[in-house]
Amino acid sequence: KYYPWMHITNILCFYFPQMSANDCQDPPEYWTIHGLWPDKGEDCNRTWHFNVTEIKDLLSDMRHYWPDVLHSSLNRTQFWKHEWDKHGTCAATLQILNSQKKYFGKALELYQHIDLNSCLLKAGIKPSSSYYQMTVIKEVLTKFYGVTPKIQCLPPEEGEKAQTIGQIEFCFTKEMQLRNCTALKGESDPVQADLKLGTEELSVCSDTLPTYYPSQVQ
């Protein structure tokens, strides 16, 4: 079976206080797209090079909903290039994703359909200095979407008690219908290979630890 899935993640600079201020470029304070990832996580077609002109009609939405906050180049296309090279060329085995415009366009469409920002806000879950219970966040998302997403956190720093919410993953069938996110036993966490930031890595959140949803860049 071939199941593409989509990662929607909040701005990474919230969650990596080890990074200097110069590492974070104009961070938005809302959930943004990390990527649309198929279940195959490697460069599938290294000859199919990223060409930003193919998505010129999408650039306004890309900059807003899929920003690159780690590169200071004017066009900030490095993040999109990475996602296309590693994941897009694999996802393109599906007809509905078999071009750069289809791949990035479908990710934007799914992101706006899910509307994670509004979902959490309607449930009263918003960035705060107080802590949330992970079970409450899970219940809200599962009730709203009818499926169980995968929520990933940074573990507590030394001397701290709370984990920090970092990424929420929604999973889809190859027909782009929402499904439960279930990791196979022994399956490696794709985010560990994709994020090389700070000294900590995101992992599936604990149900028992208090959860911090930061209100500002640290």
State the catalytic residue, choosing from 29, 64, 71, 87: 87
Give the number of residues written for the chain. Answer: 218
| Residue 127: half-sphere exposure toward Cβ, Cα within 13 Å | 15
**Bridge partner list, 36:** 6
Q: Which two tokens stand for residue 83?
A: 């996602």
Q: Please pick, among 49, 54, 83, 201, the residue that the annotation labels catalytic.
A: 83
List the structure tokens of 121: 């806000």
Structure tokens at 34: 């990390």
Catalytic-residue membership of 64? no
Residue indicated by tokens 């990223």? 50
Token pair of 68 as six digits: 């690159």
Assess whether 34 carries a catalytic annotation: yes
Of the residues 7, 34, 169, 200, only one is catalytic, namely 34
Q: Which residues are catalytic?
A: 34, 83, 87
